[in-house]
Structure 1
Amino acid sequence: MSENILYEATFKVDEVNSAKYDRVSRIAATNEQGQDTTCFIDVNTELYPVEADDRLSLALALSLNLDGSKDDSKGWRNVGRGESTIADDYDYVMHGKIYRFEEGEGQNIKVYISFGGLLMYLDGPYNSLAALRVDYVYLLMKK
């Protein structure tokens, strides 16, 4: 992982709950790479359909720039217009803020991220989530 990519993992979708909203589903997924990390994330399934047993490659990055430089001066809506970014390798991208951490069971921590009302919750070992901090991040996903 580069310094720009704070977290990267592959998850297997265990459950897709679309009972509450028409176009948004809450995805429950488990890390496939031997870490006991679980992820719950709200996804606009009209834009990015997800089903149980899908495998999702997920990354959290500070910037979409290929060189890892911050894109603060552009504003998130203008990032990547007319230039190559790491988002080109992914199917679904959101911008949000890591806003809370909690202690979990044993050595686990819980990380909460908001993407403009769509929420994400990661629960996993401290050593795999330690790079995350209160900051703005990009969520990048692909199947």
Structure 2
Amino acid sequence: MIKTIPLSIFCSLLAIVGCSDSSSESSNQSPTIIVRYQGDPLANVRVQLHDSESGPVVAAAISDPTGQARFKQLPPPGGPQYYVSVESISDGGWILDPKLGKPATSGLSIPSFDSTSQQPHELDLPPSAVRLLTRKKR
């Protein structure tokens, strides 16, 4: 005799065991930069990579709530590093210093991604990077 499992138990088992999701596996393998400000992850930052300080954007990604900006596709690097520019896309009461929006004035760079390593690069923004948009009460 074959016993049937109630649908609710079957769904619970699926939730516990889970299913393989190829999209999450591929995102884990994407080149990633973790954006941090004063040691904390910073979300809603557009991270742009350039081959030179005056070159065009070659790749861009937006950081998530964990500070991770995942790049879907990167061209081969033109050198040992990428120059970085960052911009705030948040309206959460803060903005990034405008000088960080250009690689020539940002002073930010990361090493080129190693095709054999999937370790994320960390990008620590300088102490003066974030400016509050609220006015101080007098």
Q: Which TM bucket (shorter chain)? A: under 0.3
| Structure ranking higher in helix proportion | 2
Tell me the TM-score normalized by structure 2. 0.24
- Whichever of the two has the greater Rg, that structure is 2
Tell me the TM-score normalized by structure 1. 0.23
| Structure ranking higher in strand proportion | 1
